[in-house]
Structure 1
Amino acid sequence: MITFGDKDELSVHPDHGSAWAALLGFVDDRWSALLGSTEAPDDENARVDAFFALPDAFYLIGEVVASLPAA
């Protein structure tokens, strides 16, 4: 889940890796429009941390571990 300003985005992914890739895509697609000439860090974690340090920005990657009852 991504909350940015007055917009929320919810997406479901099969694993953490694909969720992280989607989050990076979100950041990269918006970086220059929001941060102008500030160069994006090469390190993915630093880039995500810098982007979500902006006001009204939040993300959550979570996993649901559940099993269905036996039939």
Structure 2
Amino acid sequence: MPKGVEMPHSSLMNLICSSPECGAPKRRTLQFTTLNFDVSFQELFSCWRDGGLLMLVREEIRADFSELLD
């Protein structure tokens, strides 16, 4: 049975805006957590907030560290 967790918009905005790197230009961010995990939104929106490039990888590559480094 699927379950869901609601994350209020204000909580996400507080988390993103209070991060120490807020406003720092980002070149690339690797989306490492699965999109099913609520923490993935922090990676997504903190990258997009600063105009960065979000790098997505397949699950097979994420599971193989040596291939991930390549």
Interval containing the TM-score (normalised by the shorter chain): under 0.3
Structure with the bigger RCO (C-alpha within 8 Å, sep 6+) is 1
TM-score w.r.t. length of structure 1: 0.26
| Higher percent of residues as strand | 1
TM-score w.r.t. length of structure 2: 0.26
